[in-house]
Structure 1
Amino acid sequence: MTILDINALSITLGDVLFSDLTLTVSKADRIGLVAANGSGKSTLLSCIDGKSEPTSGTITRSRGLRVGYVQQTIPHEHMDKTLYDSVLAALPPEQADYESWRVDVVLGELQVPYELQHKPLSELSGGWQRTAMLAAVWITEPDMLLLDEPTNHLDLHRIALLQDWLNALPRDVPVIITSHDRAFLDATTNRTLFLRPERSRIFRLPFSEARDALNEADAADERRFANDLNKVQQLRKKAAKLKNVGINSGSDLLLTKTKQLNERANKLEEAAKPAHREQSAGDIRLTNSGSHAKALITLNDLEVTTPDGRLLYKTGQKWICPGDRVVLLGANGTGKTRLISMIQRALSGAETGVKFAPSIVPAYSDQHLSQLEEGETPMSTLTAQFDVGDQRARALLAGAGINIQMQDTRLGKLSGGQKVRLAMLALRLKHPNFYLLDEPTNHLDIDGQEALERELIDHGACCLLVSHDRSFLRHVGNRFWWIQGKKLIEVDSPEEFLEQEMNNGEEV
């Protein structure tokens, strides 16, 4: 049963975000909405919710349809409320007085620990804040659910819980999800909409299968376009020959035939549509300056501790050699980021217990992009750190997806994706041979994630990284270190760890 119908919808905000979008949403639909950063995903969800108006086209909703929209950012006025009160506030006052038990039910379904329920949202992690937003929407009993990047800030355990919760929803509640988490989309969707400026495509398949189908469709479009242009060329050649014969023989019939052939060629050329060319949000390129050292990093039974000195684990003897792409595995709070930061401090001379080759040239990026100064601009970030002139700096920034208008704007105004691309550009300009990367895919769209994967693999980059993105760590890693208890153990594959984390954090 169709509950929402989108017809010839277009959004233009300076540039065309998407156009002539037609989509029907039925009760059993679980739709993954996929596009590059800034391509209109959130805008489309806002239009469906009724908060924004399209440039053209219509959205027809079934009578009385209640849409629940979980946005990316929590309203500032909610930050001083407790998690419990922020969810309760979603109910009408008269209902909240007598049906507060609904909050307990929803928070129980989402497995929110009691000790967190009465803490202010401002004191909770981004993951718990997003859980509160989801609970506040679900408690209103919507007929349709819109989720904008629901896995942002969630660890693997919480992602697993969200997957299970979504898959257990009543089938008559359709869900539209925007996400850059490929594994999450595969686990929770049965249709995929690729949003494009022209000719958006919808497939009745989860993301990975839909992506294969999209590539085939684009290849068919490419072949069709080339064939059409070839036909145009052949028609015009034939017309030119007939024209010469007609002029030389004085045949009006041949001249008429020439005109008809040219008209057919013009119509065919006008109707021919080139295949879609994805507009990059900005290049992600890395380098690997290489090293002849046998080991770039040596850990001599390093003790990884909390800031107050409590032992988390010991690393044992570990080496990272050129070409190693080591993925650090462990549940939240076990000390993954602590090890990354200890190695970073050791490389800068502020930590012991880590040996490194004299030829090492490190590049470091943490999940908060703290190497970028919010008060700086993209231009000042490059020119202050590297010996590049203004013209070269502007060309580099443009290639990274930061246009001329944004290059002299403070970094706080940049999108998350633009900041990541700037950070990756700054890493590349260091010409490193060793990368320390803590959650490098945060804020990157799927194309950006895949570009980063290719760069690390194709250049044989050496790195130690932490990531909650299952697809990314599976594709990139060729070695895996797992924090188990008080030890750091090397394993052949991440699958046992992932299964344990996705199985509600219990031993399998």
Structure 2
Amino acid sequence: MAILNINALAVTLSEPLFSNLDLTISKGNRIGLVAQNGGGKSTLLACIAGQHDPTGGEITRARGLRIGYVKQNLPPDALACTMYEWVLAALPPEQADYENWRVDVVLNDLSVPYEFQHRLLSKLSGGWQRMAMLAAAWVVEPGLLLLDEPTNHLDLHRIALVQGWMAALPGDLPVLVISHDRAFLDAVTNATLFLRAEQSRYFALPFSAARAALEQADAADARRFANDVNKARQLRRQAAKLKNVGVNSGSDLLLTKTRQLTERAEKMEAAAKPAHVSRHAGDIRLSNSGTHAKALIALEDVEVTTPDGRLLYRTGRKWIAPGDRVVLLGSNGTGKTRLVGMIARVLEADVPGIRCAASVIPAYSDQHLGQLADSDTPMQAVTRAFDIGDQRARAVLAGAGVNYRMQDTAIAALSGGQKARLAMLVLRLKQPNFYLLDEPTNHLDIDGQEALEAELVGHETSCLLVSHDRSFLRHVGNRFWCVQGQTLEEVESPEVFLAAEMAG
């Protein structure tokens, strides 16, 4: 049963985001919404929720349809509330007075500890704020759930909680979810909408299967277009021959046939639809300057501690050789980022127990992209740090997806995807041979994640990385270190750790 119909929907901002979009959402649909950064995903959800007016087309909602809408970011006015207060405020006032037990049930379903429920949202992590947003959307008992990046800021354990929560939702509840987490999409969806400026595609398949079907459909479109164009050319060639014969012979019949062939060619050319060409979100390219060192980084049983000195774990003797792509595994709070930060510091100053080869040229990106200053412009970020002229700087920025209009704007105004691509550009321009990457796929769309994977693997790049993205770490890693208790162990595969984290 259809609960919402989208007909010929279009949104144009500075350029068309999507057009002629048709979609029917029925009970039981669990639809993954996939597009490049800036491709209109969040705008489409806002249109469905009635919070953004489309440029064209229409949306028809079932009478009395309640929509639960989880946006990417918590509203600033929520920070002064406790989690419990904010979820309760989502209920209509008359319902909140005598049905506040609904809040308790929903927060329990999301496994939110009691002490966090009554803590100010401003004092909670981004992950717990995300849980509050899910609870506020679900407590109203919606007939349609819209989720914009529900796993942002979540570690693997809490991603598993969200997956389990979604699996326990009523089977007929339709959900439209935006995510760049490919494993998550495969786990929670049964259909996929690839949103495009033109020729959006819908498949009744979860992401990975839908992606394969999309590639086949695009290839078929390309073949069909080439065939139609070739047939039109053949008709034009035949028409040209007939015209010559008709003119030389004075035959009106041949000239009439010439016009008919030309008209057929024109109709065929007008009807031929070119294959989809992806809009350029910006290249992600890395460099690997190479080194002859046998070990880039050596750890001599280093103690990794909390800021107040409490021991988290000891590393034992470990090393990273050229070509090693080491993934650092561990539950949230076990000190993965602490070790990455210690190794980053040793590249500038001595840290006991950590040795680095003299030939190492490092590139470090933390999960908050701290190497970028929000007050700088992209041009300043590039020209201040690297000896390249303005013309070259503008060219490489454009290639990384930062267009000319944004190059002299504060970095704070860039989208998350543009910041991530700019950060990767800044790393590449250092010409490094060793990368330290803490959650590098944060904010990257799926195309960007796959491009980063291809660069790391294709260049046999040496790196130590932390990631909660299961698809990314599986594709990139060729060595795995896992924090187990108070030791750092090398393991053959991430699968045992991932299974334990996802099981809770």
Bin for the TM-score computed over the shorter chain: over 0.9
Q: 1:139 and 1:92 mapped to 2: Cα distance?
A: 11
* Partner SS state of residue 322, structure 1: coil
2:207 corresponding residue in structure 1: 207
Q: 2:434 and 2:141 mapped to 1: Cα distance?
A: 50
Q: 1:153 and 1:303 mapped to 2: Cα distance?
A: 27
Correspondence 1:107 to 2:85: no
The Cα of 1:281 is off from its aligned counterpart by 1.1
Question: What code does the residue aligned with 1:219 have?
Answer: A
2:134 corresponding residue in structure 1: 134
Correspondence 1:335 to 2:325: no
Q: How does 1:262-273 map to 2 (within 5 A)?
A: 262-273=262-273
The Cα of 1:247 is off from its aligned counterpart by 1.5
Correspondence 1:451 to 2:451: yes
- 1:303-357, CA deviations, whole angstroms, 9 ceiling, x for partnerless residues? 1111111111111111111111000000000010000000001111142211111
1:320 corresponding residue in structure 2: 320
Question: What code does the residue aligned with 2:104 have?
Answer: D
Q: 1:384 and 1:14 mapped to 2: Cα distance?
A: 30
Q: 1:91 and 1:207 mapped to 2: Cα distance?
A: 33
2:52 corresponding residue in structure 1: 52
Unaligned runs of 5+ in 1: none
* Partner SS state of residue 95, structure 1: helix
Q: How does 1:294-443 map to 2 (within 5 A)?
A: 294-443=294-443
- 1:150-206, CA deviations, whole angstroms, 9 ceiling, x for partnerless residues? 000000000001001101100121000000000000000001000011111100000
1:43 corresponding residue in structure 2: 43
Judge which range, 293-302 or 249-258, deviates more. 249-258
The Cα of 1:262 is off from its aligned counterpart by 1.0
Q: How does 1:184-199 map to 2 (within 5 A)?
A: 184-199=184-199
Question: What code does the residue aligned with 1:296 have?
Answer: L
Task: Identify if the C-alpha distance between structure 1 residues 370 and 463 changes in structure 2 by more than 3 Å, giving closer, same or farther.
Answer: same
Judge which range, 230-239 or 494-503, deviates more. 230-239
Q: How does 1:78-227 map to 2 (within 5 A)?
A: 78-227=78-227
The Cα of 1:280 is off from its aligned counterpart by 2.1
- 1:241-288, CA deviations, whole angstroms, 9 ceiling, x for partnerless residues? 111111222211111111111111111111111100111211111010
Q: 2:251 and 2:341 mapped to 1: Cα distance?
A: 85
Q: 2:7 and 2:28 mapped to 1: Cα distance?
A: 20
Question: What code does the residue aligned with 1:90 have?
Answer: A
Q: What is the CA RMSD across the aligned residues, in angstroms?
A: 0.8
The Cα of 1:100 is off from its aligned counterpart by 1.6
Q: 1:131 and 1:449 mapped to 2: Cα distance?
A: 25
Q: 1:107 and 1:25 mapped to 2: Cα distance?
A: 27
Q: 2:54 and 2:89 mapped to 1: Cα distance?
A: 30
Question: What code does the residue aligned with 1:255 have?
Answer: L
The Cα of 1:500 is off from its aligned counterpart by 0.2
Q: 1:356 and 1:75 mapped to 2: Cα distance?
A: 44
Q: 2:64 and 2:92 mapped to 1: Cα distance?
A: 17
Q: 1:373 and 1:201 mapped to 2: Cα distance?
A: 38
Q: 2:140 and 2:50 mapped to 1: Cα distance?
A: 17
Question: What code does the residue aligned with 1:417 have?
Answer: G
1:472 corresponding residue in structure 2: 472
* Partner SS state of residue 374, structure 1: coil
* Partner SS state of residue 261, structure 1: helix
The Cα of 1:97 is off from its aligned counterpart by 2.2
Q: 1:105 and 1:150 mapped to 2: Cα distance?
A: 20
Judge which range, 82-91 or 377-386, deviates more. 82-91
Question: What code does the residue aligned with 1:291 have?
Answer: T
Q: 1:224 and 1:99 mapped to 2: Cα distance?
A: 59
* Partner SS state of residue 11, structure 2: strand
Question: What code does the residue aligned with 1:290 have?
Answer: G
Unaligned runs of 5+ in 2: none
Q: 1:348 and 1:44 mapped to 2: Cα distance?
A: 46
1:4 corresponding residue in structure 2: 4
Q: 1:320 and 1:406 mapped to 2: Cα distance?
A: 38
- 1:403-434, CA deviations, whole angstroms, 9 ceiling, x for partnerless residues? 11111111111111111111100000000000
* Partner SS state of residue 169, structure 1: coil
- 1:444-466, CA deviations, whole angstroms, 9 ceiling, x for partnerless residues? 00000000000101111000000
2:260 corresponding residue in structure 1: 260
Q: 1:157 and 1:483 mapped to 2: Cα distance?
A: 15
Q: How does 1:464-503 map to 2 (within 5 A)?
A: 464-503=464-503
Question: What code does the residue aligned with 1:106 have?
Answer: V
Q: 1:469 and 1:145 mapped to 2: Cα distance?
A: 24
Q: 2:420 and 2:121 mapped to 1: Cα distance?
A: 26
Q: 2:189 and 2:112 mapped to 1: Cα distance?
A: 24
* Partner SS state of residue 313, structure 1: strand
Judge which range, 471-480 or 241-250, deviates more. 241-250
* Partner SS state of residue 103, structure 2: helix
Q: 2:208 and 2:280 mapped to 1: Cα distance?
A: 20
Question: What code does the residue aligned with 2:338 have?
Answer: R
